[in-house]
Chains A and B, each alone.
Chain A
Amino acid sequence: MKAHAQRLIAARLGLALLTLLIVSAIVFGLTGLLPGDAAQQALGQAATPEQVAALRHQFGLDQPALTRYLHWLLQAATGNFGTSLSNNLPVSQLIATRLPNSLVLAGLTTLVSVPLALAIGISSAVFRGSLLDRALNVLTLSAVAVPEFLVATIAVLVFAVKLRWLPALSYLSEVDSFGTLLRSYAMPVMTLCCVIVAQMARMTRAAVLDQLNAPYVEMARLKGASPARIVLRHVLPNTIGPIANAVALSLSYLFGGVVIVESIFNYPGLASLMVDAVTNRDLPLVQGCVMVFCAAYLVLVLIADLCQIVSNPRLRQR
């Protein structure tokens, strides 16, 4: 009965897996194909050519590229990304200790930003052309254009240095009550929300506006439905798909935003792990982190697609 929707979902899943495969090839191509670099890096400048060659053999760097890629891919598929070059711990273990922190940060940001963005987007679409709409437009436009390190810097200046309300760094080890939790997450979440809310609100506004121009809204207006009823009962159910898309796109931006925010606030998450790995040129760790980031992105996009399919009755009831 729901065969059509199921087929669509299966196709989306397949596409996501294919994309992940291509991503792995791109990432490996960029990082894995530099011959000898990892071995040279591990041994330093003073190493003799023989030592480098021996280590290259130990790393398997003397194998043909395709063999190495397939080997790496098979290992990666089982969650094994190799060993970090800088501290000799398994990459998967390093990621496992940092990933929950990043997920908490992302989750809190989502909880704060999504309702806020939907409220802004929907109200500026409903009151289109009003002073409120135009003010929100300039405000969100500016927020999108300001880099997050700037927002973070200003937030530190205002809340940590001048007002002394919040700590300038996030010390997760000291979190023991709800109050300290709020204090240590307030600034990173605030910074991330700033850009994401603006983006999401703009896309939500466009999606709602698109529906408000549809003939069925005019019909509802003609039959005397109240503006609130038109928006809540008629328009919103039709915008779930586009809005889910907007939310997913904006949240995927989070993965870029955390790179800056985690390093500024010294937050022990996945992104700061990756920045450290880049600074140390610890390529296995970089590869592992990127694959986790991309997988998370694809999951988000997949969820948005599923929302679109499920919220569309024409696909559901076939």
Chain B
Amino acid sequence: MNRPATSHAATVLYAAGDSEDRTAAEVVKDAPNDAPTPPRSPLRRLAGRLSVLGLIGLAIVVFWLGVAFIGPLVAPYKGGAITSTEIFGSYSAAHPLGTDFLGRDMLSRVLYGTQYTVGLALAATLLASGIGTFFGLLAAVAPRWIDEVLSRIFDALISIPSKVLALVVIAAFGSSVPMLITVAALAYIPGAFRISRSLAVNLMTLEYVQVARARGEGLFYIARVEVLPNMIHPMLADFGLRFVFIVLLLSGLSFLGLGVQPPDADWGSLVRENIGGLAEGAPAVLMPAVAIATLTVGVNLLIDSLRRHGGRAHGGGK
């Protein structure tokens, strides 16, 4: 019943990134076609909507998410254990990804680091998108002056480059895991706010919202029941991109030595620690770099493919 608005909102967002030649009407038509087919698992539905590149992206993302959860369990050695006398060792049976600058097993270091890179970024993205969406909805639904105040504040925040903002906060409060999550979230709330606000403002002009208003529904009800469900899909695509930016920000900070502090290490700090092995092309510096690149490129391929195929793929069963 409220589907048309979704595709409307979706086209608003997708038009900015990539204007594929699908009109809103086409997207709407697709929706009922799904209904008669026997129920498929959400994953199959998702896969059906993706191009080859998108599937590769999906596989990479699922792989890294899996590693983030079970990484330490399957790691051959304890994360900080020095297991070899050889530093910057090459690929071998005992150390599939070589050894680092202290002779620690690189495979285990990367597996443990995945938790930090993926976990921190996931937590920060959830915070950023959640808070951004909340304020975006508030700005769209609430009286005009609240919208003005919120928009000015977030416009100001967005004009501080994210890395610079992160540096300021770290300069003031020091670097710790909760602080890093806060910093990354703070840097990307304004972007999430802007997108969710523009989506919600567009939705607010649609007939069914006006009907709800005429019925005398409260603002909270309108925001929760009429607007929010219809902007969830574009916000999920935005969530993916925001995740990539936050991974890049956090690993950049770690690379500068201002992120995750030793002896713990995310992928960014692994590159930093082992930069001495660069000259000899040691796997210790290449592997974490490859890990970062595959994760971010993978998420990007997935999101790009979802957008091109009319979006609305996440949880398509609903």
Contacts and interface: CB of A to CB of B under 8 A. Distances in A.
Interface of A: 18-20, 22-23, 26-27, 30-31, 34, 37, 137-138, 141-142, 144-150, 153-154, 156-157, 161, 202, 206, 209-210, 213, 252-253, 255-256, 259-260, 263, 274-275, 277-279, 281-283, 286, 289-290, 293-294, 297-298, 301
B254 to A, nearest CB: 9
B66 interface: no
Interface in B155-186: 155-157, 159-165, 167-173
A147 B161 contact: no
Contacts of A283: 171-172
Contact of A150 (B169, B289, B304): B289
Contacts of A147: 248, 251-252, 255, 268, 292-293, 296
A20 B157 CA distance: 10
Nearest to B160: A294
B217 interface: no
Interface of B: 15-19, 53, 152-153, 155-157, 159-165, 167-173, 244, 248, 251-252, 255-258, 268, 271, 275, 278-279, 281, 285, 289, 292-293, 296-297, 299-301, 304
Contact of B19 (A145, A206, A274): A206
B275 A153 contact: yes
22 contacts: A30-B168, A30-B169, A34-B172, A145-B293, A146-B292, A147-B248, A147-B251, A150-B289, A153-B289, A202-B17, A210-B19, A256-B162, A256-B163, A259-B164, A259-B167, A274-B167, A275-B167, A278-B167, A279-B258, A286-B168, A293-B164, A298-B159
Nearest to B163: A256
Contacts of A157: 278-279, 281
Interface centre among A147, A209, A275 (most CB of B within 10 A): A147
A278 B156 contact: no
A10 B27 CA distance: 42
Contacts of A278: 167-168, 170-171, 258
B16 A23 contact: no
B171 A153 contact: no
Closest 3 CB pairs of A and B: A22-B156, A145-B296, A256-B163
A293 B158 CA distance: 12
A19 B155 contact: yes
B163 A259 contact: yes
Contacts of A149: 251-252, 255, 268, 271
Nearest to B17: A206
B19 A209 contact: yes
B300 A142 contact: yes
A18 B152 contact: yes
B135 to A, nearest CB: 15
B256 A286 contact: no
B152 A260 contact: no
Contacts of A202: 17
Given A23-B156, A147-B252, A259-B164, 15 more contacts: A34-B172, A34-B173, A150-B289, A157-B281, A206-B17, A256-B161, A260-B255, A275-B258, A278-B167, A279-B257, A286-B167, A286-B171, A290-B165, A294-B164, A298-B159
